A = this chain, B = another copy of it.
Amino acid sequence: MSESKDHLAQGKIAPSRRNGRVSAKPTMSDVARLAGVGTMTVSRFLSGSVAVSSETAQRVQSAINELNYRPNELARAFRGQRSRTIGLIIPYLYDPFFANCVHSVTTVANEHGYSVIITTSNEDTEKEFVEVERMLERHVDGVVAIPARFNESRITRPLFGKTPVVVFDRPVADPTLDAVTVQNTGGARRIVEHLIEHGHKRIAFMGLSRSLFTINARFLGYRKALQDAGLEEDAFFGCDSQEDTLRAVESKLRGPKTPTAVFTSNTLATRYVLTALFTLGVKMPNDLAFACFDDFDLAEFCSPPLTVVRQPAQEIGRVAASLLFDRIARGEIPKTGNRIVLPVEIVLRRSCGCKHRGSVVIH
């Protein structure tokens, strides 16, 4: 009895204390008090989990309006099991491919009523690790990630406990994680075959580090195409900066076996190589035929328009996010994750030497 009296007393002094604090946000019990009901009635009214009489509903609603009450999502997340938040990790944003992926992931998440905590790793596995921990401490319900330098990434099941994880663009060693990738090898192989069909015998490959999954996969496609045609490889990994790339391009062009075509393996390398060719005054496609992985706005307006392998960026993000929400809904961690491989599209423009445009989908 005395206990319950205590509670009542508290209930009575609470409002004045509240009013004392100028800016305290109204809480559910403020609403309950004003409406003359218990907090659970307010809670139920908000969640709709259990019916409340339409008359009380009215009163609660007006109390909410009057106080301009908003539920404290932090308290909910803390109390319950779900934070309604997912984490999103990508290397960086200035690659339009990554930016598009982010756009679709956030869109899907918001459609599910979720918030997205985003972070950029800059390909730094240590920063990635720190940020993953931060996300886990915030109890995100799941994580979508493009792992930094895939093999070295510390993104593995044990780190996440029972929090679902979907990686995309690059898989990871851990087979229990879901992964969404594209036909990197197939796409690269096909476009190099196309260059071969144009009659090229000496085709160079330019890329960033081979320790990046996508770059390596594309290199393997390039290699396969050359091997099948009995041609010799000529690959350079190390387009880490404009200067390095310029040096590499220069030495290739001055070398004894000057390539007649070049294939660049992602947007960044493409930019560096194009700049280098521009600097050196090389004319495409006559001096050198050109094709690259990753489409971008205005590839159409380059001089000449560029032949590319296009990835469905938004689609990749959408599929990865959907997969994650699937996992979250089911609540179980699979023994073996899904491995989804999306098709790419070859877009023929002029830089390869084609006179006519065209496109082919590679599954």
Could you list which residues of chain A lie within 8 angstroms of chain B, going by C-beta atoms? 23, 25, 70-75, 77-78, 83, 85, 88, 92-94, 96, 99-100, 102-103, 106-107, 110, 115-120, 127, 131, 133-139, 161-162, 267, 271, 274-275, 278, 296-304
Tell me whether A117 and B115 are in contact (CB under 8 A): yes
Q: Give every chain B residue within 8 A of A117 (Cβ-Cβ).
A: 85, 115-118
Tell me whether A162 and B23 are in contact (CB under 8 A): yes
Residue of B nearest to A138 (CB): B73
The 24 sampled A-B contact pairs (Cβ below 8 Å) are A23-B161, A70-B133, A72-B139, A73-B134, A73-B138, A74-B74, A74-B77, A78-B78, A93-B100, A94-B99, A94-B103, A99-B99, A99-B102, A102-B118, A103-B120, A110-B127, A115-B119, A117-B117, A117-B118, A274-B301, A278-B301, A301-B302, A301-B303, A303-B303
In the complex, A119→B85 CA distance in Å?
A: 12
Tell me whether B120 and A118 are in contact (CB under 8 A): no
Q: 8 closest pairs, A vs B, by CB?
A: A303-B303, A99-B99, A73-B137, A93-B103, A78-B78, A118-B118, A93-B99, A301-B302
Contact of A138 among B74, B102, B131, B136 (CB under 8 A): B74
A145 CB to nearest chain B CB (Å): 14
Beyond A85-B117, A94-B96, A96-B99, 20 additional contacts (C-beta under 8 Å) are A73-B139, A74-B83, A74-B138, A75-B78, A85-B138, A96-B96, A102-B102, A106-B120, A110-B119, A115-B134, A115-B135, A117-B117, A117-B118, A274-B300, A274-B301, A275-B300, A275-B301, A278-B300, A298-B298, A301-B302
Q: Give every chain B residue within 8 A of A275 (Cβ-Cβ).
A: 300-301
A285 CB to nearest chain B CB (Å): 14
In the complex, A120→B83 CA distance in Å?
A: 20
Q: Give every chain B residue within 8 A of A88 (Cβ-Cβ).
A: 118
A312 CB to nearest chain B CB (Å): 13
Q: Give every chain B residue within 8 A of A120 (Cβ-Cβ).
A: 103, 106-107
Tell me whether A137 and B71 are in contact (CB under 8 A): yes
Tell me whether A25 and B94 are in contact (CB under 8 A): no
In the complex, A296→B88 CA distance in Å?
A: 25
Tell me whether B106 and A118 are in contact (CB under 8 A): yes
